[in-house]
Structure 1
Amino acid sequence: MTNPFPGMNPYLEHPSLWAGIHHRLITAIANDLGPKLRPKYIVAIEERVYEVNEDMTLLIGVPDISVQSTPSALQSPASNLAVAVKTQPTEVLLPLPETLTEAYLEIHAVETEEVVTIIEVLFPKNKQVGIGRLQYETKRLKILGSATHFVEIDLLRQGKSMEMVGDFEQSHYRIVVSHSETRPKALLYSLSVRDKIPEFPVPLEADEPEPAIDLKSLLDEIYDRGSYDLRIDYSRPPIPALSESDTVWMNETLTARKP
């Protein structure tokens, strides 16, 4: 079965699938843009690596001297009776740092090697409170304060959307195209799970023709080549769940597409 949805398939957002989808999508965009940008530009796949530990209240590796035993802790001064001390260890779990690697795209001018445009596809950690979001927001602000164009693709319903101001409706998915010369203004494509994903431009140097990304076609190709029809159980609700009305629409769409 081919991708049954007209736009983004909400089942592809599942935590067990998204890392693979993200990897394939970054590669697919790079492969799609590469021939369109020759010979003036190249597309490079770059990586951002950092460690996260979501529970910052727990410390690992604290010296033993920070935990001290005193006579008053072992004996009650009122009764002079020894307080029982548990001598057998108890198994506990300690937080471990998780190394995250996030891929993104850079478009370079061949002649000057300058980074002309950066394309980001958001990870779940980018939209959650923690170092993953902080790292991404810091980089995002740095790009927006530079002469580099910026494209941000958010295909995840879960988490807090990236900051922006304007007269727009909240939506499931967002695509932002930011030309450096028009900032702080940018183009926002707001999409629901029911919408077809439109083609959108990739900014380049002034007066250069802007190639378009057909994200829907790329996602459909990923769905087919990755055999996601064999990996997704459409009898279960997607994660995160949809609203009641969107669930009714989803079930009608799936029923209509059954062979």
Structure 2
Amino acid sequence: MPSPFPGMNPCLEHPDFWPEVHNRLIVAIADSLTPEVRPKYEVAIEKRVYELNDTNTDSLLVGVPDLAVKRQSQTSERLPSERLQSESVPSNVAVAHSTTQKITVTLPLPEVVRQAYLEVREITTRSVVTVIEVLSPVNKRAGEGREIYLKKRQRVLGSLTNLVEIDLLRGWQPMPILGEDIQSDYRVLVSDQKHRPNAELYPFNLRDRLPSFSIPLRSEDVEPMLNLQELFTTIDDRAGYDYRINYENYLSELVPPLTESEQSWVQELLQQ
């Protein structure tokens, strides 16, 4: 059964599905482009490794003095002297009593995130001609992961390498561009190094089909077209998302949530 959505299925942005969708899309793009660019180029799947520190405010920060354990969710009745002592310290500090008992705490261990991306390389010289990125939450969320990605993005934009950036996540701030403040749910950026600082932006929304666009190579090459909608339809069919997604559950957990208008539109689609 095909997807009820004309373009992007917002439920596939959910953490239960997105890592799989990301990997399937990377492989599908590589498989689609390889016959179009060989024998001059290869389309290689590369992996970037992020080691991120947990900055969740509910966690204990290692090595910082005067920070104590996670706030206890339940409090018990105390003697007046104990209440006075408790009120004299910050609420997130566990007070040690005369009879010390252990408390289970959570430490911010580094989180290792592996993310695949594509490089179109010239076979004879091994030089990277085009980088193709499919953004994930680690790239878009404010914090260390976004900073790492933006530094790599700037290195590519300052080089002779082309960049294709595919953003199929409605959440978080999109990657920066100069000029107009263009609002859209999703977007594809195609930066041909020959035309910088100008680039092609394909903004689209939940109700739209996914775009088709050309992949920049060298100036003397014919640029292959990438039909993103066709690839996504194939991925959706092969992965069997039609029977794996409980729309009632996942639509209520979307981040950001759908607007009232979008919710009505989605319900109409699901009833067809």
In structure 2, the residue matched to 1:243 is 259
Q: Report the CA distance between 1:38 and its aligned residue.
A: 0.8
- Partner residue in 1 for 2:54: 54
Does residue 162 (structure 1) correspond to residue 178 (structure 2)? The answer is no
TM-score of the aligned structures, taking structure 1 as reference length: 0.87
Task: Letter of the 2:194 partner, please give it.
Answer: E
Distance in structure 2 (CA, Å) of the matches to 1:54 and 1:171:
30
Out of 231, 252, 259, which is 2:268 matched to? 252
**SS in structure 2 of the partner of residue 235 of structure 1:** helix
Aligned to 1:24: 24
Contact 1:117 1:150 in 2 (8 A): yes
Aligned to 2:84: none
Q: 1:209 to 1:95 in 2, by over 3 A?
A: same
1:120-199 correspondence runs (5 A):
120-167=133-180, 169-199=182-212
Task: Give the letter for the 1:173 counterpart.
Answer: Y
- Among 62, 75, 98, the residue aligned to 2:111: 98
Q: Does the 8 Å CA contact 1:116/1:149 hold for their aligned counterparts? A: yes
Can you give the 5+ residue segments of structure 2 that lack an aligned partner in the other structure? Answer: 67-95
For 2:258, give the aligned amino acid: L
**SS of match in other structure, 1:44:** strand
- Tell me the distance in 2 between the aligned counterparts of 1:152 and 1:121: 6
Identify which range, 29-38 or 167-176, moves more after superposition.
Answer: 167-176
Whole-Å separation in 1 of the counterparts to 2:231 and 2:161: 25
The sequence identity of aligned pairs, in percent, is 48
Structure 1 position 243, deviation (Å): 1.0
Output the amino acid matched with 2:49: V
Shift of 1:6: 1.1
Whole-Å Cα distance in 2 between the matches of residues 6 and 120 of structure 1? Answer: 23
Please, what is the CA RMSD of the aligned residues?
A: 1.9
Judged with a 3 Å threshold, the aligned counterparts in structure 2 of structure 1 residues 7 and 49 are, in CA distance, closer, same or farther, namely same
Task: Give the partner amino acid of 1:247.
Answer: Q
C-alpha deviation, 1:199, in angstroms: 0.7
Aligned residue type for 1:25: L
Moved more, 232-241 or 211-220: 232-241
| Bigger mean CA deviation after superposition, 23-32 or 49-58 | 49-58
Q: How far off is 1:149 after superposition? A: 0.2
The 10-residue stretch of structure 1 (26-35 or 2-11) with the greater mean CA deviation from structure 2: 2-11
Aligned to 2:5: 5
CA distance in 2, matches of 1:47, 1:84: 50
Q: CA deviation at 1:87?
A: 2.1
Task: Read off the aligned partner of 2:9 and give its amino acid letter.
Answer: N
Q: Distance in 2 between matches of 1:157 and 1:233?
A: 20
Cα deviation, 1:139-182, whole Å, max 9, x if unaligned, reads 00000000000000000001111001233530000100000011
How far is 1:84 from its partner? 5.0
8 Å CA contact 2:54–2:111 kept in 1: the answer is no
Query: How many residues matched?
Result: 238
- In the alignment, the residues of structure 2 paired with residue 247 and residue 84 of structure 1 have an alpha-carbon distance, to the nearest angstrom, of 52
Alignment partners' CA distance in 1, 2:213 and 2:179? 19
The two structures have a TM-score, normalised by structure 2, of 0.83
- How many angstroms apart in 1 are the aligned matches of 2:194 and 2:114? 31
Conserved? CA contact 1:54–1:130, under 8 Å: no
SS of structure 1 residue aligned to 2:17:
helix
Q: State which drifts further: 230-239 or 100-109.
A: 230-239
| Residue 227 (structure 2) pairs with residue 211 (structure 1) | no
The 2-side partners of 1:54 and 1:180 are apart by 36
Name the structure 2 match of 1:234.
Answer: 247
On the 8 A contact 1:191/1:197 being kept in 2, the answer is yes
Which secondary structure does the structure 2 equivalent of 1:16 belong to?
coil
